[in-house]
Amino acid sequence: MYRIVEAKHLADNIVRMDVEAPWVAKHCLPGQFLIVREDERGERLPMTICDYDREAGTVTIVTQTVGAGTYRMAELQTGDAFMDVVGPLGNPSELVKTPIDELKKKKILFVGGGLGTAPVYPQVKWMHEHGIDVDVIVGAKTKDLVILEDEMKAVAGQLYVTTDDGSYGRSGMVTKVIEDLAAEGKTWDVCVCIGPMIMMKFCCLTTKKLGIPTIVSMNPIMVDGTGMCGACRLIVGGEVKFACVDGPEFDGHKVDFDLAMKRQAQYKTEEGRALLAFEE
């Protein structure tokens, strides 16, 4: 069993958990993910790694309640445990595999939308630990949904927070902030954008216009997480790719987001049924 060392409510429907998983904590890198299962009846839930502490042997995951599986998971408290934690899965982030000397010459922009802020955080923290200052834009719908602001402030070179409704920080979506900063004269060699698919799609359209190569981390439906079931299939640059083994990061300018979103929508009815059954 994998004990939850701390479960903390971060925002409406968003929970952070530090989970005892020493082997994963020892081997994971930013960009990778886990699959957790609460018990033998539990759904297999892919979770991006938000942080890890190799000494304490813990990994941090952040979840938002969107379906029956995540509702059940959010009910877990400090001291409870997961039956399975499988990982680290997927490939580490492109940037953390790049030689430090090369990275130090680059101007890097990270963009986190909503829950996407959680997987952006370990990459920015890694950059900070290696002496690389990066710009970070964090976007959320409203002030209450901004997460990890203090943690991000501690590791980002420059942090820009924005809310869609203007209730906190700058006003407007992350794409507007990218455009505004570019208009103010900011330039970047590469952008890493993680968030809901629709946000990544529009972020990529913006960065394409500005000529900034962009990496996205794809979060389609996953089942086994090891390349066998095909559930996480994507089209990238006209080729079939599996997010769990070929990604989760891809060249955002080559991802067919419309198809990815259509595939995600196919499971909505099933998810809705599971949620109704959970609530009964």
Among 10, 103, 148, 222, binds ligand FES (CB under 6 A): 222
- Residues near 148 by beta carbon (within 8 Å), at least 6 away in sequence: 10, 50, 62, 117, 118, 121, 138
Cα–Cα distances in Å, from 56 out to 2, 23, 24, 59, 270?
Answer: 13, 11, 12, 9, 38
Asked if 127 contacts 104 with a C-beta cutoff of 8 angstroms, the reply is no
**Cis peptide before 248, with omega less than 30 degrees from 0?**
yes
Q: How far is 82 from 40, CA to CA, in rounded Å?
A: 10
- Using CB under 6 A as the binding rule, whether residue 231 contacts ligand FES is answered as yes
Q: Which is nearer to ligand FES, 166 or 230 (CB)?
A: 230
Return the closest-CA partner of residue 249 out of 214, 273, 221: 214
Q: Which is nearer to ligand FES, 230 or 237 (CB)?
A: 230
Binding mask 68-107 for ligand FES (x = CB under 6 A): ----------------------------------------
Quote the least distance from Cβ 233 to ligand FES, whole Å. Answer: 7
Q: How far is 212 from 63, CA to CA, in rounded Å?
A: 30
- Using CB under 6 A as the binding rule, whether residue 225 contacts ligand FES is answered as yes
Helix (H), strand (E) at residue 211 = none
Q: Are strands 214-217 and 81-82 parallel, antiparallel or unpaired?
A: unpaired
Q: How is residue 173 written in tokens?
A: 């979506």
- Using CB under 6 A as the binding rule, whether residue 227 contacts ligand FES is answered as yes
Binding mask 239-278 for ligand FES (x = CB under 6 A): ---x-x----------------------------------
Among 23, 66, 153, 230, binds ligand FES (CB under 6 A): 230
**Which region among 73-81, 131-139, 227-235, 256-264 touches ligand FES (by CB under 6 A)?**
227-235
Q: Which is nearer to ligand FES, 126 or 242 (CB)?
A: 242
Name the residues that contact ligand FES, by CB under 6 A. 222-225, 227-232, 242, 244
Q: Annotated binding residues, as ranges?
A: 62-64, 69-70, 229, 232, 244
